[in-house]
Chain A
Amino acid sequence: METGTSRVKRGMAEMQKGGVIMDVMNAEQAKIAEAAGATAVMALERVPSDIRAAGGVARMADPTVLEEVMKVTSIPVMAKARIGHFVEAKVLEALGADYIDESEVLTPADEVYHIDKRDFTVPFVCGAKDLGEALRRIQEGAAMLRTKGEPGTGNIVEAVRHMRIINGQIRKVQNLSKDELYHEAKTLGVPYELLLGVHESGKLPVVNFAAGGVATPSDAALMMHLGADGVFVGSGIFKSEYPEKFARAIVEATTHYQDYKLIAEVSKNLGTPMKGIEISKLDASQRMQDRGW
């Protein structure tokens, strides 16, 4: 009997496929998310848009938030640790978090090294904006990936960009000859063996979700069309006018992303979505996607 194997960690993410993972800040929101059909919740003290507004250093949430959410839900509970902050991650593992997000939404704790995620029994999800980042995170032990997008903006453009970049790079790698692969591994800064795997299979070896800017049911469906295995919705749900209805609509649009009549139906009368931010108006220091390397 073996725990924490790569198969057990990656398998957990496989079970999330086609699903929606929702940010929640307390037990009440967690219950709404579960009732709406979320496949997991991310327990946070503040959603990304509030972190953005508050400024300062964003850290791991108070453990009581995680405990409170775990107590009321039967679905998996995820939590965020700062990039490189392996002690926050160990604390989350000790608390019983089912998945840890080493996240650029929080202020990085290390400007060089990410967490050695193989040193944990619980699986990790990490953000990536290109194939190099994706494969470096996998080499460090990430069992699931997500696009970085630009969290807390309600603007899907960056998640689309990151998904398209990764897809494009995968197609390019597929068409390289074996000798060109050595050079490409050096250029991307990734291990040759992982790149060879992508060359042969034409896909990433772990599940890849969309995250960072999903604000409507159509946004979720768009990301599924672009090849996302599922969707993270952060600020979108509980910053909208009718969170319950909105959460259900996102779940349905993710399952039936090719059924436009259904998406039209669930998109009706959702009230005012979160306001959203134009990416070019963001100061360079406020771009969360540039955190992590």
Chain B
Amino acid sequence: MKIGVLALQGAVAEHIRSIEAAGGQGVAIKRTEELAELDGLIIPGGESTTIGKLMRKYGFIDAIRNFSAQGKPIFGTCAGLIVLADRIDGQEEAHLGLMDMTVARNAFGRQRESFETDLPVKGIEEPVRAVFIRAPLIKEVGSSVDVLSTYKDEIVTARQGHLLASSYHPELTDDYSLHAYFLKMAEEAAAAASR
């Protein structure tokens, strides 16, 4: 499976390393044309304001919506989760607006409140080592969204069909289970498309 990592800003190399460790092929994506060859796309952590701005500037909003409309899986981590959401708390405009959920930015506070913890995730056997860095939260989800994990009663992992989102950074650890889970989503989508 060939998985692209949107390389406008943020932790791109870490996602590529994790995808390859989980058995996939990872490539950095800087131009919309490069989306065509992918089986799945990761929108990495970084600053969502910066990533959102550059996505608009270079035509990625429509291109990724189109990519999603083909049923190809997308995984957003931290800033990537914000970019995927339909609604952003306190902000008028969403970015991609693909997942039926409302997110709150910097929901845990400033950097001094950032933390890591072991997090049980539905569909993954062992708890995931989750690194939360000025992380967002999912405040509410629509009926088509499956909640995969919560931390202190707040939603931090969610899936809506071919879309996956986490508040935290699985790419900063040597735990590749969430990347393996996403690769499986990509395999299933590819199999469904060829049928």
Contact = CB atoms under 8 A, between A and B. Distances in A.
Nearest to B8: A255
B57 A252 contact: yes
A76 B132 CA distance: 14
Given A18-B12, A76-B111, A8 B47 contact: no
Interface stretch (A33-41, A56-64, A189-197, A212-220): A33-41
Nearest to B171: A14
B133 A8 contact: yes
Interface stretch (B113-121, B139-147, B178-186): B113-121
B195 interface: no
Interface string A200-223: 000000000000000000000000
Contact of B10 (A17, A98, A251): A17
A39 B112 contact: no
Interface string B166-194: 00010011000000000000000000000
- Using C-beta atoms within 8 Å of the partner chain, give the interface range for chain B: 35 or more
Given A3-B112, A37-B50, A37-B53, A18 B9 contact: yes
Interface string B41-71: 0000111011001100100000000000000
A39 B116 contact: no
Contacts of A98: 110-112, 134
B105 A74 contact: yes
Interface in B6-21: 7-14
A2 B57 contact: no
B120 to A, nearest CB: 14
A14 B111 contact: no
A15 B116 contact: no
Contact of A19 (B46, B57, B112, B113): B46
Contacts of B131: 7-8, 11
Given A14-B14, A15-B78, A8 B9 contact: no
B106 interface: yes
Given A11-B131, A15-B79, A17-B46, A5 B112 contact: no
Contacts of B113: 3
Given A1-B115, A8-B114, A11-B169, A17 B133 contact: no
A105 to B, nearest CB: 21
Contact of A12 (B8, B14, B117, B133): B133
A93 B47 contact: no
Contacts of A122: 111-112
Nearest to B113: A3
Given A11-B133, A76-B134, A255 B54 contact: yes
Contacts of A15: 10-11, 45-47, 78-79, 133-134, 169
A98 B47 CA distance: 14
Contacts of B2: none
A93 B113 CA distance: 11
Contacts of A11: 11, 114, 131, 133, 169, 172
Given A7-B173, A8-B116, A8-B133, 6 more contacts: A15-B11, A17-B10, A18-B12, A38-B47, A122-B112, A251-B53
Q: Which 8 residue pairs spanning A and B have beta carbons closest together?
A: A98-B111, A39-B47, A18-B9, A14-B11, A1-B117, A37-B53, A3-B115, A11-B172
6 contacts: A11-B11, A34-B49, A93-B112, A96-B112, A122-B111, A251-B50
